[in-house]
Amino acid sequence: MPVEVLVCVKRVPATGGRIVLTADEQEIDTKYLGFTVSPHEECAVEETVRIVEAHGGSSTVLTLGPAAAEEQLRDAMAVGVDRAILLETDGREWSPIATAEAIVGAVRAREAAGAGFDLLLFGNEAADTGDFQVGIRVAVALDLPCVTGVKALEVRDGTAVAKREADGGWEVFEVPLPAVVTVKEGINLPRYPSVPGRLRARKKEIERGVPEWRPAGPEKVRLRLPEEQGSAVEILGTGPADAPRVVEVLRQLGVLAP
């Protein structure tokens, strides 16, 4: 049975980069940062491609963000996603409430055009803000079943079988399609875009929309960057004669019994 899959991603600063705030403490200074999508969302993209490869159908990647987020959409198309939708903003951070509303609007517009989705995939949470609400809010607004924190997913006969780790075992959920699933990093090993894949992605058209921004949820006053924790190194010795000192430190740490 062919499956129509929508995967939603977010453009975020590279997770290994050094974070610096702007002078007014309202935004992250991105002058020297690269951008990517959250690790959970990389796995959601990979899962999307695998599902369509296994069952047929088609896939769409969607993001809400500035025009520069086109890069992340093309990365997803380079690994096998068929088409892309950019809900273009002026670059300001949208709340989870407003983000979900914009995605719901795009999904309903596709449904009205007779091109709905069987499965909506999200990363479990965003790497920058830690939001885990968007997928759940979309599911509630669309009145769809939702499973979060998924580490294994299978589609069979109009049903999604989702597994979530719990207390050394698995929780298994069977939900009818259409459904919303949020996946966690580790559900798969994402593939890297190939050069031919990137070339094909550059030629594809990106569907664009401009959702109306409105404030929703708590108001941001400012950002705060926690102070970096200093570290120190102590050289215990340089030869066998210093072994007793090593033993003493291990005992102080509780690694060895007194």
The 3-class secondary structure across the chain, one letter per residue, is CCEEEEEEECEEECCCCCCCECCCCCCECCCCCCEEECHHHHHHHHHHHHHHHHHCEEEEEEEEECHHHHHHHHHHHHCCCCEEEEEECCCCCCCHHHHHHHHHHHHHHHHHCCCCCCEEEEECCCCCCCCCCHHHHHHHHHCCCEEEEECEEEEECCEEEEEEEECCEEEEEEEECCEEEEECCCCCCCCCCCHHHHHHHHHCCEEEECCCCCCCCCCCCCCCCCCCCCCCCCCCCCCHHHHHHHHHHHHHCCCCCC
- What tens digit of pLDDT does each residue of 214-243 get? 776 677 777 777 777 777 787 877 888 888
Q: Please, what is the end-to-end C-alpha distance for the chain in angstroms?
A: 65
Instruction: Give residue 216's pLDDT.
Output: 66
pLDDT cut 90: percent of the chain above it: 59
Judge whether residue 16 has pLDDT over 70. no
Which CATH code, of 3.30.70.3460, 3.90.105.10, 3.10.20.580, 3.40.50.620, is assigned to 3-209?
3.40.50.620
Which of the pair, 74 or 168, is modelled with greater confidence? 74
| Confidence (pLDDT) at 23 | 75
Residue 58 has a pLDDT of 95
The model's pLDDT over 77-109, given as tens digits with 9 standing for 90+, comes to 999 999 999 999 988 888 889 999 999 999 999
Q: Is the pLDDT of residue 199 over 80?
A: yes
* Residue 6 and residue 109 in contact, taking contact as beta carbons nearer than 8 Å: no
Domain boundaries, the chain: 3-209
CA dist 106 and 84 (Å) reads 12
In the predicted structure, residue 63 carries a pLDDT above the cut 90: yes
Q: Is the pLDDT of residue 21 over 90?
A: no
231 HSE (CA, 13 A, CB side) = 2
pLDDT tens digit string along 147-179?
A: 999 999 999 989 999 999 988 889 999 999 999
Query: Average per-residue pLDDT in the chain?
Result: 88
For residue 52, the model assigns a pLDDT of 96
Residues 12, 128 contacting (CB under 8 angstroms): yes
Pairing of strands 179-183, 119-123: parallel
pLDDT at 243: 83
Q: Tokens 């979060």 appear where? A: 148
> What pLDDT, on the 0 to 100 scale, is given for residue 127?
76
Whether 192 shows a pLDDT value over 80: the answer reads yes
Residue 59 has pLDDT above 90, yes or no: yes
Report the pLDDT value the prediction gives residue 237, as an integer from 0 to 100. Answer: 78
* pLDDT exceeds 90 at position 57: yes
- Residue predicted with more confidence, 124 or 29: 124
Report residue 71's pLDDT band, with 50, 70 and 90 as the boundaries.
very high
For residue range 25-50, list pLDDT tens digits in order.
Answer: 676 766 777 788 988 999 999 999 99
